[in-house]
Chains A and B, each alone.
Chain A
Amino acid sequence: MNGYVFDTAHLFAGGLVLVSFMMLYQDRLHALINVFALHAVVLSLSVAWQAYTQAAPHLYVTVAIAVAFKVLVIPIALHQMIRRLGIHREIETVVGIGPTMLAGMGLVALSMMVMLRVTPEADPLAREDLAFALAVILLGLLIMVTRRNAVSQIIGFMSLENGLILAATGAKGMPLVVEISVAFSVLIAFIVIGVFLFRIRERFDTVDVHALDRFRGERR
């Protein structure tokens, strides 16, 4: 095993986890979108490195999709969208930064413990990749549950998906990776268009309990 091949892959995958942490404490939407673009850049570098070391040219397609779609198109569209929806000045504070960061650390520790323990046989590169990927996925979930704004939920979901792409490209020779990344891009495009068309701002527009009751059809 080449030392530098491993180290570089490790650097990018670890970088992805770090950027996920950066997203956790962004409370302004524009900043969050910019950090997400950075997340996508790191992912593209990581996938490109995997494509190079595994000599798997089809992975460059995934890189191209990631760069075009997640680094450029989606962030630009989201910046425009939040301005149109008039929510660009909003500050989100659902859960405090301190507890969120602590929870994030707990999740990373959890994913290391789970994945490193169950994969002693696998080759070290894939093994560490998988552990980092799970950490990114769990952090993405954490972003989704600690936010109420639809746009930041989408960003949480996209960072979660970046973790999946990291896992899929780390699994050497996995088929259908490109197809899966295309399928995900379609999914995300749908979400973004949906949010824009229907002007969904939050999962529940109001915290008024009566409105929720009406929504659930609970009230007579």
Chain B
Amino acid sequence: MILPFDPLIVILGTPAAAAALLAIIPSYRVGAWFNVLACLITLAAAASLFFAERRADDFLLIDDLNIVFIVLNAFVGFTTSVFSAGYIAHELESGRLTPAHLRFYHALFQVMMFGMNLALIANNIGLMWVAIELATLTTVVMVGIYRTHEAIEAAWKYFILGSVGIALALFGTILVYMAARPVVGEGLDGMVWTVLIKHVAAFDPALLNVAFVFLLLGYGTKVGLAPLHAWLPDAHAEGPTPISAVLSGLLLNVALYAVLRFKLLLAANTQAIAPGPLMVLLGLVSVIFAAFMLYRRRDIKRFFAYSSIEHMGIITFAFGIGGPLANFAGLLHMTMHSLTKSAIFYSVGHIAQVKGTQKIADIRGLTETHPVLGWTLVLGVAAIAGLPPSGLFMSEFLIITSTFARAPLLAILLVLGLLIAFGALLWRVSTVAFGEPTGSRAPTKALYLPMFAHLALVFTAGIFLPPALVAWFQQVAQSLG
């Protein structure tokens, strides 16, 4: 099918143009809805990719793998912009932000979307690196936007660790180019992913191995894998909640996508080390570490940030195990986690606003004071904990069964981590949602639609997945090897 427009130009051009316009729109209300509109256009263009032809040139690439990421990115970006429109007005009323800040915030939101879309579409590993750096930089600024001592501390930590991560990733990228140069020749070709994957079998395996270690550590820092995760909880807790939602739901995925692309390169070279075991190790460490850390959290946003580390660990683990079934489960889990976690953050954002605190100890009896918010939080946590019938139950079940068939010991460790995290999640949500109510009972002016939409999708997916989607994911899972 031939589209009357080029979806790639829309996907990249809309956020870029919107960022420029939002920077000059003085009214924050107009800005917020314009932000929503821009995200909607991007989403429509992203959805049209399903019908667009696959293509690859020196800089841009569309294949089955990245369409999944782009559509997910555009969808969560859109719902977050809707949530943000309702959320941010309250921040203005409470005086935490000024209209000038909001103008800046909306423009940066679009710059961030641009960076993430570019990273996902890039066919050039150098361009992908630059795009991820851009997305990181904008989120750093957004994390520090409240300018409190804590927020600046968090932004600084994120900045330093993120910069070291991207520096290591760049060194890995240079090494990949060095490995490619003797085979594909000098110049641009040596950085074009589709060219690399075609010739990777002839690359020097030793150089590729070292490159992958740097890339995994570099981009792994951004995924938030365990020994490199230190920036993540602070950045989630201190920034505005819409940013926590996109960090967890999107930016971590984008970094994981970069790791996957390089994993594919390594897997196609038979003499290089198998990338799987390294990813399994990092993933497992993240799951178990985060599961234990969940028990000690006192801040609700920080609590869910650790849950994100756990889930990114599960996804990395699944892709590390590999094979059609585990890859399928990994893709499904990634999609479900993005939807559920952002829904939880939407809910938590309103809760923190109405209660005026993020401390878990000060929030009790939510289902009584704010039934809608309380129950969406309960549902979201039930989903993220992997209770049936949520989509996460299905994906976790698939990951565990496929691992059991191949490496039972690893599966047992994973189950252990999941159970520990499960306990922490239920324990915390029971204190927050039930019990003697505390704090303000004031009604919220929340816009519930984004969280309802996400949770509905997650629970529907647990019961029924459209065959077309299953076929699509299976095809992608096959290509992931």
Contact = CB atoms under 8 A, between A and B. Distances in A.
- Binding partners A and B: yes
Interface in A60-110: none
Interface stretch (A3-11, A12-20, A24-32, A176-184): A176-184
B159 A119 contact: no
Contacts of B237: 217
Contact of B299 (A121, A186, A198, A217): A217
Contacts of B164: 141, 144, 157, 160
A114 B237 CA distance: 39
Contact of B174 (A119, A171, A186, A219): A171
Interface in A165-188: 167-168, 171-176, 179-180, 183, 186-187
A37 interface: no
Nearest to A166: B174
B153 interface: yes
A52 interface: no
Nearest to A213: B298
B181 A172 contact: yes
A200 B156 contact: yes
A122 B175 CA distance: 11
B181 A173 contact: yes
Nearest to A220: B361
Contact of B187 (A115, A118, A173, A200): A173
Contacts of B170: 164, 168, 180
A217 B359 contact: yes
Which of B133, B167, B190 has the largest number of chain A CB atoms within 10 A? Answer: B167
A65 B155 CA distance: 27
A171 B177 contact: yes
Interface string B329-353: 0000000000000000000000000
A98 B178 CA distance: 36
Interface stretch (B23-31, B124-132, B263-271, B457-465): B124-132
Interface string B130-156: 100110010011001001011011011
Which of A168, A171, A217 has the largest number of chain B CB atoms within 10 A? Answer: A217
A118 B361 contact: no
Interface stretch (B203-211, B245-253, B399-407, B410-418): B203-211
A210 interface: no
A176 B137 CA distance: 19
A150 B296 CA distance: 29
Tier of interface size on chain B? 35 or more
A95 to B, nearest CB: 18
A161 B160 CA distance: 13
Nearest to B130: A183
B207 A118 contact: yes
Contacts of B126: 175-176, 179-180
A187 B207 contact: no
Given A114-B210, A187-B137, A203 B156 contact: yes
B190 A164 contact: no
Contact of B178 (A122, A179, A219): A122
Given A194-B156, A203-B156, A220-B298, A175 B191 contact: yes
A114 B171 CA distance: 14
B371 interface: no
Given A183-B130, A217-B359, A219-B298, A174 B177 contact: yes
A150 B156 contact: yes
B182 interface: yes
B61 to A, nearest CB: 16
Contact of A216 (B147, B204, B302): B302
A149 interface: no
Contacts of A118: 204, 206-207, 209-210
Contacts of B153: 203-204, 215
B358 interface: yes
Nearest to B152: A198
Given A160-B167, A217-B359, A183 B191 contact: no
A217 B174 contact: no
Nearest to B153: A215
B163 interface: yes
A153 interface: yes
A171 B185 CA distance: 12
Contact of A187 (B133, B171, B358): B133
A157 B163 contact: yes
17 contacts: A117-B206, A118-B206, A171-B181, A175-B188, A175-B190, A176-B130, A176-B191, A180-B170, A190-B140, A194-B144, A203-B156, A215-B153, A216-B233, A217-B237, A217-B302, A217-B359, A218-B296
> Which A-B residue pairs are the 5 nearest by beta carbons?
A173-B186, A217-B299, A118-B206, A176-B126, A175-B188
Given A173-B186, A215-B150, 9 more contacts: A137-B168, A160-B167, A167-B171, A173-B181, A174-B191, A203-B160, A216-B299, A216-B302, A217-B299
